[in-house]
Chains A and B, each alone.
Chain A
Amino acid sequence: MLDLRKYPSLGAALRAALDRWPDDVCLIEADRERENCRLTYRQFKEAALPLARALQDSGFTAGSRAAIIMTNQWKWLISAYAILYCGGVLVPLDYKLTAPEHLQLLAHSKADILIAEYHLWRPITQSEGFAKSGLKTAIVTEVPANAELHGAKRWEEFRKTGDPVFVERARNDWASIVYSSGTGGRPKGCVMTHGNYLEQCGALTSLFPFWPGVRYLSILPTNHAIDFMIGFIGPFVCGATVVHLRTLRPEFIRDAFTRYHITYVTLVPMILKSLERAMRLRFDALPAPRRRMLGRLIALNRACTRRRPHLRLSRLLLANVHQAFGGQLRAIFVGGAFTEPATLQFFYDLGIPVGNGYGLTEAGTVITLNDFKPFRSDTVGKPLPGTEVRIMNPDAEGVGEVAARSKTIMSHYLDDSEMTAATIVDGWLMTGDLGRIDAMGHLQLFGRRKNMIVTAGGKNIYPEDIERAFEGISVKEFCIFAANYVWPQRTMTGEQLVLVMRFDDAAQFADVLRSQVAERNRLLPDFKRVSGMLVWRRDFPRTASLKIKRDVLAEEIRGSMDRSAMVSV
């Protein structure tokens, strides 16, 4: 791999990688059983530089900001490299947000340029506020013939000949603005520096090295901090290959492992669980003698790998299982949400180590990761090299708020010094999660202090962000909480949202309101829905500027009601 200490910026490191391994394949895009494209590092460069030149010709300079809204595909990476080549600041936006949310974050980030897929661009142009978006240039991919572009340019045509000028950036310069939440009114734009990413990349690859010939399966969208680091920067600076899969359908994910002989993959718990379910079904369908034999082999593998993974032996003992994963899989990484220990153990016993990690966008992706020395299914691993983890104000059992300090921690929240000061205290990132460090230095998580939930699909949901969907329901006032914020529990599973509704004294819980709530809920994506309702009979405590004092309200509710007062939606 490249010696990242030599490079001051992501652009410089990627540029060196493209020249270092010109004939190796860097990127494959697959969709179902088809292969859409396959690029060597040289071809990647040849595709990106004319785009960089066109960006520069349009006035894009060092520090200019450019947003990308795309699904998981090869043009995301090409566009990102072109932006970084020009010294620009990348604004990766979640393509699953709604068009008004996209517009809100585009405005907040002050992006001059947007690169988007046409099906995502069209609703943006139809949204209120589009005319005032401040975008100077929009570049759109996958445009159908004769489609109305609303002033955008086609990605394929936005090209200029001639060499672009590489713009060098320093480690402290901004590389990206990544939104960890905030579509409900207070955007949390994490400003990440080039140094943050280079440090994180160096730490991760020291634990799990990549090299030419390694194939990383990327199924998470690249706007996700994990995929940006482990599915783009990491493999590229090591000369490895990224295989993008444009579908999340379990059958095609299984197929991609064997077709591309995948070495590493990162999954969210929901997908890992789906793989486990499919494998258990296959095991259960085996004839009884073969099932018994498999059980014995799994037990033998478990005994042989108790202290550390033994890939060659596991591949020999459980050859069919490993062949089903392409025969080259070295590890699965899982993060973004809580993973059940039983699922981690299931894979480990088959000789497929699952590196369970913990991180935050604010921390530059990963804070802790299991290094398999030995494997632990009950923790999220140990701090990455260069990262310190401390438990703040621990209780008698050693549980307190997890804080992290590292060169990978974001610079600040964009245009929000107050929130930055509350989140980074004396150089420590306050995560809002509750944990304990055990005698082996592993971090165990026990719940959250902050008002948010994380779904099994790895989505962080902040209640404030979805309150807008319930505006106008027939109550005096309302707000949404993570149920575990109101009634703390030492668990990371089964998190749910509760809608607290202020009723007038005489008002009753009418069916009309129930159906109103259900109707609003249905308009939200499934992972953002509230599952409980709570009737509250007192005015909400508010600040002088009339904002709800959420911590005070939560305390009042906790003091007078328990969970059983919730009514399901």
Chain B
Amino acid sequence: MPSLDEVTEEVLRLAASHSKVPRAQLSPDDDFFKMLGIDSLQALDLLTRIENHFKIELPDYELQGVSDFRTLAARIQARL
């Protein structure tokens, strides 16, 4: 199973490419709503892409209260 750091790195890479933001501008503890300039629906869209990449499925409610990349990565890792 990949480590949390590895999953976090992959999430950051996917988020950067999806939102057309340079990867170097994003850090694991960043608030993705703020850094990517997205609302909660756009965050769900991003999550779908990330899920497809990892071949997992997270219910919408798993994203509730999650706003930074590292916590998101932890939720994903728990399902891998």
Residues of A within 8 A of B (CB): 32, 71, 95-96, 119, 246-251, 270-271, 274, 456-457, 522, 525-527
Contacts and interface: CB of A to CB of B under 8 A. Distances in A.
Contacts of A32: 57
A-B pairs with the 3 shortest C-beta distances? A249-B44, A274-B41, A526-B33
B45 A251 contact: yes
A249 B67 contact: no
Interface residues of B, number: 18
Q: Chain A interface mostly helix, strand, loop or mixed?
A: loop
Given A71-B61, A248-B60, A270-B39, A522 B45 contact: no
Contacts of B61: 71, 95, 119
Interface string B23-51: 00000000101000001111011011000
Contacts of A457: 39-40
A250 B44 contact: yes
B68 to A, nearest CB: 7
Contact of A251 (B33, B40, B48, B64): B48
Given A96-B64, A247-B44, A251-B48, 10 more contacts: A246-B60, A249-B44, A249-B45, A250-B41, A251-B45, A270-B41, A274-B42, A522-B68, A526-B67, A527-B40
B2 interface: no
A247 B51 CA distance: 14
The prevalent SS among residues of B at the interface is helix
B40 A522 contact: no
B44 A248 contact: yes
B79 to A, nearest CB: 13
A525 B33 contact: no
A32 B56 CA distance: 13
Contacts of B47: 249
Contacts of A270: 39-41
Contacts of B59: 71, 246-247
A298 B41 CA distance: 28
Interface in B57-71: 57, 59-61, 64-65, 67-68
B71 to A, nearest CB: 10
Nearest to B60: A247
A313 B23 CA distance: 49
Given A249-B48, A251-B48, A526 B40 contact: yes
Given A274-B41, A526-B33, A526-B40, A249 B60 contact: yes
A456 B31 contact: no
B60 A522 contact: no
A249 B44 CA distance: 6
Contacts of B33: 526
Contacts of A522: 31, 67-68
Contact of A250 (B45, B57, B65, B68): B45
